């Protein structure tokens, strides 16, 4: 039994999400966990991956066709390498979710999506119905293709390992798709999926400008800023802020929901947070039922007060 984890990166930096998938892989395959770095001119990423605690070997596939992680080009590589492995894993980020089902279909196996626990090497727990039920499923396929819910597997250490880097033969481009461009949000704040504290705004924020009230509190707490689907749909903030069933799944130490009513699909993305605070003017809002600390009132008064209070007591 051996597992191969598909690393997530931008050709320069290894993304921390990779460490969650490695954690799940180690639960399954113990010390026999290899990491695939497929990209272009990305040796620095392979070197970072080689330092991951517990990594056995890093497979480095460099080809212009892999630069943007297009699934049509990377999937055949993963399929070719799969014969040496019992498990292929990636974290359930948008890139993992884009790639892995394509790999699974080419191998004629089902994928296990977004697993939240490993029961045994062929049996896993995964949330269904927006996390309102947990299914324990057993795979009968010879190779298990898995995406991992990052929040359910604490990351392994990014340092301490000394795996060998082994170049592998590439499979080239499929000629089906091309990368055109990207508009990526730039922020000095921590990433939502790895932040210790998150403060999110909903429809109650009323406008994108009002998000600066959240940012002031976020500054005091070193927090990431998120949003509900309603706030993104209304155009207050870009899509990468969205926390929920179909956005990002988060589980920080502290989640502060502001002007968010608590729709099922939002709760699905944050209800595993350690401590939840809800600030809402509607005392009947469902968010209060799951909040450890609820504060009923006008967020436009409460947020500045909260920023001041945090500053005063720092």
Partner 1 sequence: MKALVAVKRVIDYNVKIRVKADKTGVETANVKMSMNPFDEIAVEEALRLREAGIVSEIIAVSLGAAQCQETIRTALAMGADRGVLVQTDAELQPLAVAKLLKAVILEEDPEIVIIGKQAIDDDSNQTGQMLSALLGWPQATFASKLKISDGHAEVTREVDGGLETVSIKLPAVITTDLRLNEPRYASLPNIMRAKKKPIATTTPEALGVDAAPRLVVLKVEEPAKRQGGHKVGSVAELVDKLKTEARVI
Q: Interaction with partner 1 in 29-58: which residues (CB under 8 A)?
A: none
292 sits near partner 1 (criterion: CB under 8 A): yes
1 sits near partner 1 (criterion: CB under 8 A): no
Q: Which residues, 223 to 262, sit near partner 1 by CB under 8 A? A: 229, 232-233, 238-240, 245-246, 248, 253-254
3-state secondary structure of 286: coil
Q: Which residues pair with 201 in a beta bridge?
A: 227, 258
Q: Which stretch binds partner 1 (CB under 8 A): 29-37, 48-56, 162-170, 301-309?
A: 301-309
Query: Residue 14: which region, alpha, beta or left (left: phi > 0; alpha: psi -120 to 50)?
Result: beta
- Minimum distance, C-beta of residue 31 to partner 1, in the bound complex (Å): 27
Cα within 13 Å of Cα(165), Cβ side: 17
Supply the DSSP symbol for 236.
S
Which of 39, 47, 33, 37 has the alpha carbon at shortest distance from 4?
33
- Minimum distance, C-beta of residue 177 to partner 1, in the bound complex (Å): 4
Site size for partner 1 (CB under 8 A): 90
Q: Which residues, 114 to 173, sit near partner 1 by CB under 8 A? A: 114, 123, 127-141
Token pair recorded at residue 246: 């179909």
d(CA 47, CA 60): 10
7 sits near partner 1 (criterion: CB under 8 A): no
Q: How crowded is residue 168: how many other Cβ atoms within 10 Å of its Cβ?
A: 16
179 sits near partner 1 (criterion: CB under 8 A): yes
271 sits near partner 1 (criterion: CB under 8 A): yes
d(CA 67, CA 69): 6
d(CA 176, CA 159): 38
Q: Which residues, 193 to 212, sit near partner 1 by CB under 8 A? A: 193, 197
3-state secondary structure of 227: strand
| Residue number with CB closer to partner 1 (170 or 228) | 228
Token pair recorded at residue 78: 């993963």
What does the per-residue mask of binding to partner 1 show for 55-94, with x meaning CB under 8 A?
A: -------------x-xxx--x-----------------xx
105 sits near partner 1 (criterion: CB under 8 A): yes
Whether residue 190 contacts residue 164, with contact meaning beta carbons closer than 8 Å, is answered with no
298 sits near partner 1 (criterion: CB under 8 A): no
295 sits near partner 1 (criterion: CB under 8 A): yes
Tell me which of 31, 83, 182, 284 binds partner 1, using CB under 8 A.
182
């Amino acid at each position: 039994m051996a597992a191969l984890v598909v690393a997530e990166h931008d050709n320069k930096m290894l993304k921390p999400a990779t460490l969650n998938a490695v954690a799940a892989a180690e639960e399954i395959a113990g010390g026999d966990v290899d990491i695939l770095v497929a990209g272009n001119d990305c040796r620095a990423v392979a070197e970072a991956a080689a330092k991951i605690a517990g990594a056995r070997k890093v497979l480095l596939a460099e080809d212009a066709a892999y630069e943007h992680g297009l699934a049509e080009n990377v999937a055949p590589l993963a399929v070719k390498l799969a014969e040496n492995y019992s498990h292929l894993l990636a974290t359930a980020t948008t890139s993992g979710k884009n790639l892995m089902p394509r790999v699974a279909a080419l191998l004629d196996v089902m994928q296990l999506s977004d697993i939240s626990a490993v029961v045994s090497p062929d049996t896993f727990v995964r949330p269904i119905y927006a996390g309102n039920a947990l299914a324990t499923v057993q795979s009968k396929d010879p190779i298990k293709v898995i995406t991992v819910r990052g929040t359910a597997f604490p990351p392994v250490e990014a340092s301490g390992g000394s795996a060998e880097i082994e170049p592998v033969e590439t499979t080239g481009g499929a000629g089906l798709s091309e990368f055109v461009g990207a508009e990526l949000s730039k922020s000095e704040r921590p990433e939502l999926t790895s932040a210790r504290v998150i403060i999110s705004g909903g429809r109650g924020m009323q406008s994108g400008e009002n998000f600066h009230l959240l940012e002031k509190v976020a500054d005091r707490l070193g927090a990431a800023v998120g949003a509900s689907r309603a706030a993104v749909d209304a155009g207050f903030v870009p899509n990468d802020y969205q926390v929920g069933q179909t956005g990002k799944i988060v589980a920080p130490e502290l989640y502060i929901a502001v002007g968010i009513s608590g729709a099922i699909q939002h709760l699905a993305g944050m209800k595993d947070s350690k401590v939840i605070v809800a600030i809402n003017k509607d005392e009947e809002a469902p968010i209060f039922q799951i909040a450890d600390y609820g504060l009923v009132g006008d967020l436009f008064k409460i947020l500045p007060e909260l920023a001041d209070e945090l500053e005063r007591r720092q």
